[in-house]
Amino acid sequence: MDKNKILVTGGAGFIGSALIWALNQQGLENILVVDFLDEAEKWKNLVPLRYADYWEADRLLAHLDELNDVATVYHLGACSATTERNCRYLVNNNYDYTKTLAEWALTREARFVYASSAATYGDGAQGMDDTLQNLHSLRPLNMYGYSKHMFDLYAQRRGYLDKIVGLKYFNVFGPNENHKGDMRSLVNKAFDQIQATGKLNLFKSYHPDYQDGEQQRDFLYVKDAIEMTIHLANSRTAHGLFNLGSGKAHTWNELATAIFAALGLPPRIEYIDMPEELKDKYQYFTQANIEKLQSTHYKRPITVLANAVADYIQNYLLPGKYLGDETAA
C-alpha cells in the first residue's frame, strides 16, 4: 500500500487543528485525527476541517499495526497544562506515549515530528539554544516541562534526534484555543476580560530587573507556528530539536497595547498580585533563537505582533469563527 496518510495526534486541539487547517489549504485530506474528546468543546475546532477518520487517543497504540499507510506523524497530543500536578499522568501521557509512537514510526520509516516545549528551558539560565548538546544542563520549572524534557533526553540517548524533529514551541496564540481554559493565551483571556470590564489585569513583577508588565515573552502567531511545523516535516534533512518562535521578545505591556488597539480602545491595564504557587516557577524572559530553523531555508516572514493580534481578534474572536470557517460559503 502506498504510504500517503498523515497522522495528527492532538488533532482537535489548538495547534493540531490549526495544522489540519493548513494541510487542508494544501489540498491534503487523507488525515487520521487522534485526540481525547472529553467534556471540553474542542470538537468545535474539527467542524470546519476535512479529514479521513478520527480515533480516540487510547485506541491508537493498540491498533498501530493497522496503519501501514502512514507517511508522516505529527505528534502534538499531550497534557499541556503547566499547572498539572499529577506526575504519573504526565509521564504516561507525555513521555511513555511519545516513546511508543516514535519507535513505531521509526520502525516503519514514517516521518516523526513531535511537540517538545520551550518549557524545557526553565528560567533560561542555561540559555534557550536548540543546538545544545548537554540537554541535562536544562532545569524545567514544572512537571509539564520536565515530562517533555524526559523524552528529549530519551530521544538523544537512543540516537533518535538524528532522525526525527522535536518542536520547542514558545508562546503560541491564535484561533482555536477557546477550549484551553486557564491555558489560553493572554490575547484570548484579555478579549473576554476587556469585553466584560473594559480593562486588563497583568501580573506584577517580583524580579528587580523587570517593572510591572515588562516581563518578556516570545509570542508566535499560530499561523506562523504551523508554517514552521510543516516546513520542518517536509525538509527531510532537518532533524533534532528546533525552537519555534518569532525570534523577538515582547513585553506583556506591548502585547496588551496591541490587544486594545485591535479592539479600537485606549489601554487600561491594572497590575495584580501573582499567585504564590507561580512565583518560583515564573519565566521572566523567553526569546527563541531561530537560527537553526532558518538554516533549513525557512524564508517566510514572521507576522508582526500587532498584525497577528489584529487578525486574531478581528477575524476570529469578534465574529466567533474557527480556522476553516473563513472558507465557508
Q: Write the pLDDT tens digit of every residue in 112-139.
A: 999 999 999 988 888 899 999 999 999 9
Grid cell at residue 125: 539560565
- Condensed to tens digits (0 to 9), the pLDDT of residues 278-311 reads 888 788 998 999 999 999 999 999 999 999 999 9
Check whether 146 has a pLDDT greater than 60.
yes
Q: Domain range holding 222?
A: 5-174+218-247+287-303+323-327
In a domain, 189, yes or no: no
Say if 253 falls within a structural domain.
no
In a domain, 77, yes or no: yes
Q: Measured between alpha carbons, how far is 283 from 31 in angstroms, rounded to an integer?
A: 36
77-108 pLDDT, tens per residue? 987 777 788 899 888 888 999 999 999 999 99
pTM metric for this prediction: 0.94
d(CA 218, CA 186): 13
**Where is average pLDDT lowest: 46-60, 215-229, 269-283?**
269-283
Is 276 inside a domain boundary? no
Which range, 130-144, 248-262, 269-283, has the best average confidence (pLDDT)? 248-262
Residue predicted with more confidence, 73 or 141: 73
pLDDT of res. 1: 45
Q: For the purposes of burial, counting CB atoms within 10 Å of the CB of 299, is it exposed (0-12), middle (13-18) or buried (19 or more)? A: exposed
Handedness of CA 224, 229, 233, 237 (dihedral sign): positive
**329: pLDDT confidence band, cut at 50, 70 and 90?**
very low
- From residue 29, alpha-carbon distances to 6, 52, 67, 189 in Å are 9, 6, 16, 32
Q: Which residues pair with 202 in a beta bridge?
A: 271
Overall number of domains in the chain: 1
Residue 219: strand pairing partners: 171
Is residue 156 in some structural domain? yes
Cβ atoms within 10 Å of 26's Cβ, excluding its own: 8
Does residue 207 lie within any of the structural domains?
no
Q: What is the pLDDT of residue 241?
A: 98
The verdict on residue 224 lying in a domain is: yes
Catalytic residues: 144, 180
Q: What CATH number is attached to the domain comprising 12?
A: 3.40.50.720
Structural domain contains residue 209: no
CA 151 to chain centre: 16
